[in-house]
Each structure stands twice: as C-alpha cells, then as structure tokens.
Amino acid sequence: MPRYQVVPFVRVVTSRNGFPHLTVHSLRHMYATILTEQGVPLVKVSALLGHSSVHTTFEYYCEVMDENEKIIGFMNDSFVPGGGDEDI
C-alpha cells in the first residue's frame, strides 16, 4: 500500500470498528508497548522500530518497563503467599 493511502486506510478501519481516532504513530507506539510488556528484549524492539540506538527506545519505553515492575510487585505482594519470593 502506498504511504499516502495508509492514513486514510487507518481512519476508515478504526471508525468502521468503533475504535477511537488512531494515528499511524499511535499504532507504532502501541506495537512497541505491547512488545515491551510481553518481555521482548529492548534491543529487539529497537531494531523492529528502526531506531538508530537502543538509547532512543529506552527513553520512550522505560516508563512502560517501570510500570510493569510496579504491577508485578503489586500482584506478588497482594496475591502470592510470601510475596512471590519462594522458589516454585
């Protein structure tokens, strides 16, 4: 698909399916966030996004990684006996 058709295509697909307004950039960010949340190494995410440096990727997605650690800590503290520190 030519680049000039991507934006109108995304607009049509999102509106037809009841999604909020999404841009190509927001889809790219969503993709990277999902990869990061799934534990894909940052080096791989960086390469997939075409960033020239892992540092660039880290600057944008370190907040996502911090949130994951907070969520995992909360889940362990709240729902795992002993805080999840035991070997299973």
pLDDT per residue over 6-46, tens digit each?
889 988 988 999 888 888 888 888 888 888 888 888 899 99
pTM of the model: 0.60
Give the pLDDT score at 47: 94
Residues 12-22 have pLDDT tens digits of: 988 999 888 88
Q: Give the pLDDT of residue 67.
A: 66
How would DSSP label each residue in 54-79? HHHHHHHHHHHHHHHHHHHHHHHHHH
Report whether pLDDT(86) > 60.
Answer: no
Q: Cα 14 to chain center, whole Å? A: 19
**How do the domains of the chain map onto residue ranges?**
3-84
Q: How confident is the model at residue 88 (pLDDT cuts 50, 70, 90)?
A: very low
The pLDDT > 70 percentage for the chain reads 70
